[in-house]
Structure 1
C-alpha cells in the first residue's frame, strides 16, 4: 500500500517538475540565448525482499539544458566574422557614397583642363580666362569637400573605436561577475539560466572583437583577445583602453591592461573591422586623393611657369597646396630636432606614409633612416645643402636630434583639404610660350630653330635672352643677356641648353650662322603654353610619369569600388555561414513549440495518472480501515 502511494507521489512530483520545465521552455521560445531544458529522471532503487523487487517510483536528478560547446563555439566564431563583415560593408558603402555624392571630381577635372583649350582658342579673351579660373575654383572645392568628408569619417571611426572598447570592457566585467555567480551556484546544481546569460554575453563580446573562450575546471570561462591578451579570467576582467597615437593625436589606438599597444594585433569583430578599415582603406583613400591634389597643383604650376601671361610676365602659380605633415613622436627627447618636409619630385611621390628616424651619427644617411609605416626601408640621399631626399620628398632638419627620435611623415594626407586657387587675375594665365627662337636672316646653313622649352622655370636668367653663334666644326658659343658666354659642340638631334631653357634645331647650321632666344613678344595671340596646359590631362605625372591626374582618380574610384564589392560579397558569405552555424546550434538548443506542446500533453497525462494512483491508494487504504473497524 505504502509502495503504491509513494510511487504515485514520486510520479506526481516528477510530472510537476516536467510540466514546469516545459512551460519554461514555451515561455522562453523567443528569448535570445535561451537553451531548451529537459528533466533528467531515473528510476528509484528499491530494496529486494528476497523473492522479487517492486519499484519504488522515480527520482528527478536534474534539469539539463541542451548544449554543445562545439556548436556554441562555432556560433561565436561566425558571429565575430559576421559583425566584422557588417561593419566593413557599412563603412565602404559610406565611402563610395562620399565619392559619388560630393561632386563629380572626374567631370571637374575634364572641365578644368578643357578650360585651357578654350583659352588656347581665344588667348586674348578675358571671359575664357575668367571661366578657367572659375573652373579651377570649382575643382579645388570638390577636392576640399572630398578631403574634409574623408577626414570626418576618420574622426567618426576613431570615435567608434573608443565606443567599441568601452562596450568590450562592460561586457567583460559582466562575464566576470557571472563567472563568480556560476561558481557558487554550481555547488547546488547546474545554474542553467546563468549559463545561458553568460553564453549570450560571450557572443556579444565576440561580435565586438575576435576572441577565444576557454571553459575552466570550476565552471568559469576565460576570454582572450585575438592578440592573446586576457579579457576575463575567473571573476577578474582586464579592461582595454584607448590612447592617442604617439605621432598623430587624432588617431585612437588600443592598449591592453598592461599598457601595451595592441592596435595592429587586433582582428575580428566590429573593433577589428574598424581598425582595419581606418588603417588601410580610409588612409589609402585620403593619401591617394591628396596625392592627386599635389600632382595637380605641381604639374599645372610648373607648366604655368613655362609660359608668359598677358602682362608679359612669367606665369605665377595657379594652385597652392599644404606642405607634407611632419608629426614628431610623443616619446622624442625634449628640445630635439625640428624636421620640415617638402615635395620635390611628384613623379616619385607615393601614397605611403613614412617614419623618419634618427639612428645616430655614423649610421644611416647622415644619421637618419626612412621607412614606410609598414616597415619597408626607403633609400635616402644626402644633398650638398645638408638636406635629405627620398620618395620624392626633401627633408630639412635643424636642432640636435637624439638617437631614437622619430617623425611620421604624411606627404599627402591633408593635401586635398588644403588645395586652393592662388591666382586671381585672369590676365595672369600664361597661355603664351615663354621664349621664342629666331634665325638670323643672313644664315647660310640649313639649320631651323624649333620650339624653346623651359627646363628650369626658376632660373633668374630665363627671360634675359641669348644669342647662339656657330663656328667651325659645329662648335657654338652662347652669349646670354648679361654678357656671360658658354660654348659647346653641336650634334644633330641634341638640344642646346642654357639659363633654364632648351632649344631644338633641325638641319645643319653653317659656320657663322646665329640664332636668338628671347622672351615671347606675341603673348596676346600665342597659345602654345595653354595647349600644353590642356594636354596635362593625358600626361603621365605620377608613378614615374606613367599615370595622369585623371587616371589616378579613376584608379582611386576603382579601388574603393572594388573594396566595397569585396566587403558586400564577404557580408553575404558571412551571413550565410552565421545562419548555418545558428541553425546547427538551434537544432540542438532551440525550443520547438510543437515538441513542447506534445510534451505538455504527455506530462499532463502523467500527472493525472499519478494523481489517480494516489487516489486509488487512498481508496484501498480507506476500505482496509473500514474492514478492520467492522
Structure 2
C-alpha cells in the first residue's frame, strides 16, 4: 500500500534532480571560455516504481512511479574526434616548424636584393671587367680588391648566420624536450588524482578535461598514442615507446653528441628519433635543412675561389713586371685557417695578405706587359664559365655556371618554403575543421545553456509546487479530518 507521504518523496526527488541539472548548467556557463572544457549533461532516469513485482505484491492496476534520479553527469566528448585532432595536430606542428626554419634561411640569404650574395658577386665580376679596360689604374685595382673582399665577407656572414640558427635550433630542441617532459609529468599527476577518486564511484569530468588539454598540447610536439587503462587513467606512447604509464613517466633526455656538439635525444636510455610534430621539424631543420644549405654554400665558395686562383696564379702583376722576373704565382684568395691554400669553406675566405699589402700584386695580364689585360678578362668571364661535374665532395654534381648554381641554392630554398607554406595551410585547415566538429559536440553554447536553464528552472518550480500541494492535502488530512462540527 502506498504511503500517505509518497507525493512528498516524489516531488523531493524532482527538486534534487532539477537542482543538479541547474548547477551543472551553471557550471557549463561559467566555463564557456575555459580552454579545453567539455560541456556536461545531467542524465536522468525514472526510479523504480511501486510495487515491485513479487509473489505477495499488490495486484492493483499499474505500477506507481516514485520520481526521478540522476544516473550520471556525462561529459559530452567524442573520442574519434580527439584521435583525429591529435593526428592532424602533429602534422601542423611539423609544418609550422618547417615554415619557421625556411623563413629564417630566406631572411639570411635575402634574395633577390641589393645586398645579397648574387648582387655582390655581380659587382665583383664587373670590377674585374672594368679593370681589364685600364689595367694600370690603381683605383680600378682597389675596386677589385674591395669587391672581392665583399664577396668573402658576404659568404662568411651568410654561413656564420646559418651556423648561429643551427645552434639556436639545438637550444630549442633542449627546450622542447623539457616541455615534453613537463607535459608528461602533468599528465601523470592528473592520472594519479583520477585514480584516487574513480574507484570510489566518482566521475572526475573536470580532471579528464585537464588531461585532454595536456595531451592535445603534447600531440603538437611529437607523435603520441593514448591508451585507456584501469580506473580512468591513460598510458601515453611516444613514437611507439612508453612515455606515461599510469602515474609515472619515462622522461626524454638530451646528451651532447661528441662529434656534432648538438643534442641527441634518448628515451629510456635508447636513441629517440622524432618523426612527427614540431620536435621532428626542429631536429630535421638542424640536422638536414641547414647543413644542406651550408654545404652547398661551401661548394660554391670553394669552386669560385679555386677558379679565380687558378687563373690569377698564371698571370703577371705590376710587381712581377717591375722586378723583371716571372710570374709570382700567388693566389688571389687564401684560406683564413690554412694559410696560402685555397679556401676550404664559405666562412674561410680572405684576400691574400700580399694583395692586401699592395695593389700592384694583382695579376691583371697573361703576358709580362704593363698594358696586358687578358688575366682580368679571363677572371671576369668565370661568371659565364660552365664548370664540369666532378666526383669530389666539393665538386659540382652537374655542369653549371657559378651564377646558376647559386640560383639553384636560392630556388631550392624557395621550393622548400612554398611546400612548407602549402602544407602548413592545409594542416591548419584540417585541424580547424576537426576542432570545429569537436566544439560542435563538446563546446558550450550560451544560448543552449540559457534555454536549458529556463527548462530546469520551470521543472524545479513545478516540483516545489507539487510539494506545496501535497502539504496542503496532508494539512487537511492531519488537521481537518475527524473534526466535523468543531
TM-score of the two chains, using structure 2 as the length reference: 0.89
Partner of 1:267: 275
CA apart distance, 1:526: 1.0
2:210 maps to 1:201: no
Query: Which of residues 28, 31, 34 in structure 2 aligns to 1:28?
Result: 31
- Structure 2 unaligned blocks of 5 or more: 52-57, 321-326, 388-394
In 2, are the aligned partners of 1:297 and 1:321 still within 8 Å (CA)? Answer: no
Deviates more, 1:213-222 or 1:141-150: 213-222
Measure the CA separation in 1 of the matches of 2:59 and 2:449. 42
Query: Which of residues 252, 256, 264 in structure 2 aligns to 1:253?
Result: 264
In 2, are the aligned partners of 1:254 and 1:261 still within 8 Å (CA)? Answer: yes
Measure the CA separation in 2 of the matches of 1:577 and 1:190. 32
Query: Which of residues 531, 535, 543 in structure 1 aligns to 2:396?
Result: 543
Which protein is richer in helix relative to its size?
2
2:142 maps to 1:130: yes
Which protein is richer in strand relative to its size?
1
Q: After the TM superposition, list the runs of 4 or more consecutive aligned residues in structure 1 that deviate by more than 6 angstroms.
A: none
Query: Which of residues 73, 93, 104 in structure 2 aligns to 1:94?
Result: 104
Per-residue deviation, residues 214-250 of structure 1 (Å, max 9, x unmatched): 1124322111222x2211111110110111123111x
Matches within 5 A, 1:27-426: 27-48=30-51, 49-51=58-60, 52-100=62-110, 103-187=115-199, 188-226=201-239, 228-249=240-261, 251-258=262-269, 260-262=270-272, 265-312=273-320, 313-321=327-335, 415-422=345-352, 423-424=355-356, 425-426=358-359
Measure the CA separation in 1 of the matches of 2:38 and 2:439. 8
Q: 1:343 and 1:288, CA in 2 relative to 1: closer, same or farther beyond 3 A?
A: farther
CA apart distance, 1:315: 3.6
Q: Equivalent residue of 2:255, what SS?
A: strand
Q: 1:86 and 1:600, CA in 2 relative to 1: closer, same or farther beyond 3 A?
A: same
CA apart distance, 1:629: 5.7
Partner of 2:456: 603
Per-residue deviation, residues 59-95 of structure 1 (Å, max 9, x unmatched): 1111010012111111112221112222211221121
Relative contact order, CA 8 A, sep 6+: which one is greater?
2
CA apart distance, 1:562: 1.1
Q: Equivalent residue of 2:279, what SS?
A: helix
Measure the CA separation in 1 of the matches of 2:305 and 2:224. 47
Per-residue deviation, residues 593-629 of structure 1 (Å, max 9, x unmatched): 2111110000000000000011111111111111136
Measure the CA separation in 1 of the matches of 2:144 and 2:214. 61
Per-residue deviation, residues 239-283 of structure 1 (Å, max 9, x unmatched): 10111123111x22211122x222xx3122211110111222111
Measure the CA separation in 2 of the matches of 1:29 and 1:84. 30
Q: 1:343 and 1:185, CA in 2 relative to 1: closer, same or farther beyond 3 A?
A: farther
In 2, are the aligned partners of 1:147 and 1:286 still within 8 Å (CA)? Answer: yes
Query: Which of residues 366, 369, 377 in structure 2 aligns to 1:531?
Result: 377
CA apart distance, 1:288: 1.0
Measure the CA separation in 2 of the matches of 1:563 and 1:430. 42
Measure the CA separation in 2 of the matches of 1:57 and 1:314. 110
In 2, are the aligned partners of 1:315 and 1:428 still within 8 Å (CA)? Answer: no
- Structure 1 unaligned blocks of 5 or more: 325-341, 347-411, 434-519
In 1, are the aligned partners of 2:364 and 2:376 still within 8 Å (CA)? Answer: yes
Query: Which of residues 442, 460, 480 in structure 2 aligns to 1:589?
Result: 442
CA apart distance, 1:322: 5.4
CA apart distance, 1:543: 2.0
In 2, are the aligned partners of 1:12 and 1:611 still within 8 Å (CA)? Answer: yes
2:437 maps to 1:428: no
CA apart distance, 1:99: 1.0
Measure the CA separation in 2 of the matches of 1:229 and 1:304. 59
